[in-house]
Structure 1
Amino acid sequence: MGINQRVFLPFLLVLTLLSAGQAFSRPYDELLASGFLRVGVYENFPPYSFKNADGEAVGIDVDIAQHIADEMGLELELFWMLPDEDLADDLRNYLWRGHVLDHDHKHERLSGKKVADVMLRVPYDRNFNYARGYIGQGVYAYQNDLIVMMMPYQRETWKLAHNSDRLEAARTLAVFQYHPIGVEMETVPAFMLTSVFNGNLRNQVRHFRSPAQAFQAMVEGEVTAVMAMRGELEWLLAQHASDSLKMGDTTFPAMGKQHWDIGIAVREADRQLGYHIEGILEPLVMSGEIASIFERYGVTWEVPAFYDF
């Protein structure tokens, strides 16, 4: 076997396996002709995508998805997603291959798996999108080449809310050596708070299944503060009107990334759809009109760093 064959056979094998497992996308013209747009949003994730007491789908991302579908002249079909261990898993399960446990959509085009046409609330990370990994024999390949991250439409950040009756201000995380703080389990704040200051905060960190449960614990006095994403905390503060519950101005220098852009993702084969959606959302972002959608849910909209020229 020649040197070129030895080098490129592993590479070709990987490409073959990837294409065999990929859910075939709907061609752009076929999507338009179908009359509907399937948008992936996270399930039970207020204020972004959730169902209200009447069972209606609501939230910032639901409203954005509806706006996109309306502008395209299509009906909106929401595709509710449950988060897996990391972003790569979510993109695989809901955008380009389909979930391994999905046995209910044999009618879906070629793949037998249900996948979204476009996925919202995707952290916009060029390094992730163009990451390369070693596949053997001196060959490197793009690890996420089946998807494209596009159109940042929000800047998200980690924040801290606290009960001012128990703690007047939280100017530094060091105060949580003496006050209990709630976090969602297996999140960046959970890992960060249990490791900073040589682990001296660990005994004061309380882990909950969601920011809402952590916030309720603060309302009931079990914890003094909660650390989560700003949008989640602003929504929860709006639901629990109280002069004593406040958003803090604490910064987190020990955290690798305190702010990040949120955008969309489409399959590599669906760039035309992605460009169409960019054309719909970009004017809203550049003009700031998108802020009105966030205001409906008591959330502050911040222009993505992508547009901070």
Structure 2
Amino acid sequence: MNAARLVFALWLTLCCALAQADVVKVRAFDDIIESGVLKVAMYENFPPYSYQHEGEPRGVDVELAHKLAEGLGLTLQVLWVTPDETLDDDLRNFIWKGHYLRPDVLADVMLRVPYDREFAYKRNELGEVINELVVMFGPYQRERWQAAYDERRIDEVPSVAIFQYHPIGVEVDSVPSFYLSSVFEGRLAKNTHHYPSVSQAFAAMQQGEVDATMAMRGEVEWLLHQASDDHLKLAENAYPNMGKQVWDLGMAVHESNRQLAYALEEVLEPLILDGELEKLYTRHGLTYELPGLYQDVESDVAGN
């Protein structure tokens, strides 16, 4: 074999190896049931939704995942997700392709995925659907942005405009960070203080470094619940020019595993309609808000 043929053979072998490495087997519904285990992807270090306490998974999403697994007669295996640059990347890494550092690790289902038609059918610059290999389903919670403040330093928060005069803490590179730095022609930017995490921004409020903080409602309510300080209050303000202030969260599976999605929906719906999910959130000090799909159901029931 001459040198050119040897190089070509090596190149062909490498391409085949890479192609094989790039194929990750998605478990079929029957295989999942036979295994006795439901693999659920959840974000790590993301209280109150999913986190570890003394090495054990904790949080409302973890408890929901346990209930979903039990409803299918399975035990739960948590696959911790470290956020990539975008949610599209997270779905690729854990639902349909696998991460290059962990190519053999795929979840059966991922929680805390936006239940949003616009996101589900988002297209790239070539007009291709970015998440065509993913099915998003099962909305289970409505989330929104929320501010909290210390009433010893602010009497009330009728509008975010008050943060022209009072410092507020936010997580760096978060939606509240970009919003507060740009709204009202940037007049709040000098009073917007950035911290590595929501919990550190909240701690800064407790220590008097800032007078308020802003994050997702669940995060803020959980921290207020942990603090047990009557002087720390939820703000009752809206957020002008913010864009999407309220959104629904659900689950995602590989598009070939719709049978799993249908089975999970059958377990989820009674948890929502019978109030079990609301009780779960209440135990964590959180407000539970029905996703839009079930608010429509309640409206229809009330109308009849």
How does the TM-score come out when normalised to structure 2? 0.88
Shift of 1:93: 1.3
Cα distance in 1 for residues equivalent to 2:289 and 2:20? 38
Q: Does 1:113 align with 2:101?
A: no
Aligned pairs for 1:197-236 within 5 A: 197-236=184-223
Cα distance in 2 for residues equivalent to 1:205 and 1:131? 32
Q: Does 1:31 align with 2:18?
A: no
Q: Choose which of 172, 175, 196 in structure 1 pairs with 2:183.
A: 196
| SS at 1:290 equivalent | helix
Cα distance in 1 for residues equivalent to 2:19 and 2:272? 35
Q: Does 1:131 align with 2:122?
A: yes
Q: CA RMSD in A?
A: 1.7
Q: Choose which of 212, 230, 243 in structure 2 pairs with 1:243.
A: 230
Shift of 1:96: 1.1
What does residue 4 of structure 1 align with?
none
What does residue 302 of structure 2 align with?
none
Shift of 1:287: 2.9
Q: Does 1:302 align with 2:293?
A: no
Cα distance in 1 for residues equivalent to 2:172 and 2:94? 23
Shift of 1:21: 4.3
Cα distance in 2 for residues equivalent to 1:44 and 1:72? 27
Shift of 1:179: 0.8
Contact residue 261 and residue 306 of structure 1 kept, 8 A: no
Q: 1:90 to 1:224 in 2, by over 3 A?
A: same
Write out per-residue CA displacement over residues 82-112 of structure 1, whole angstroms, 9 at most, x where no aligned residue: 111211011111111111222xxxxxxxxx4
Shift of 1:288: 2.6
What does residue 265 of structure 1 align with?
252
Which runs of no fewer than 5 residues in structure 2 stay unpaired? 1-17, 297-304
Cα distance in 2 for residues equivalent to 1:18 and 1:130? 27
Q: 1:247 to 1:22 in 2, by over 3 A?
A: farther
Cα distance in 2 for residues equivalent to 1:58 and 1:67? 13
| SS at 1:278 equivalent | helix
Contact residue 88 and residue 130 of structure 2 kept, 8 A: no
Which runs of no fewer than 5 residues in structure 1 stay unpaired? 1-16, 103-111
Write out per-residue CA displacement over residues 91-143 of structure 1, whole angstroms, 9 at most, x where no aligned residue: 111111111222xxxxxxxxx420110000111111111223453xxxx4322
What does residue 139 of structure 2 align with?
152
Contact residue 122 and residue 265 of structure 1 kept, 8 A: yes
Query: Identity of counterpart residues, as a percentage?
Result: 49
Shift of 1:55: 2.4
Q: 1:289 to 1:195 in 2, by over 3 A?
A: same
Cα distance in 1 for residues equivalent to 2:20 and 2:116? 24
Write out per-residue CA displacement over residues 42-100 of structure 1, whole angstroms, 9 at most, x where no aligned residue: 10111111112x32211100000101111111121000111112110111111111112
Higher-helix-fraction structure: 2
| SS at 1:115 equivalent | coil
Shift of 1:20: 8.7
Shift of 1:283: 1.5
Contact residue 39 and residue 118 of structure 1 kept, 8 A: yes
What does residue 167 of structure 1 align with?
154
Write out per-residue CA displacement over residues 155-195 of structure 1, whole angstroms, 9 at most, x where no aligned residue: 00000000000001111111111111011111111111000
What does residue 271 of structure 2 align with?
284
Counterpart amino acid of residue 144 in structure 2: T
Size of the alignment, in residue pairs? 279
Counterpart amino acid of residue 48 in structure 2: P
Write out per-residue CA displacement over residues 191-224 of structure 1, whole angstroms, 9 at most, x where no aligned residue: 1100011111111111111110000000000010
Cα distance in 1 for residues equivalent to 2:19 and 2:114? 23
Cα distance in 2 for residues equivalent to 1:18 and 1:176? 54
| SS at 2:158 equivalent | coil
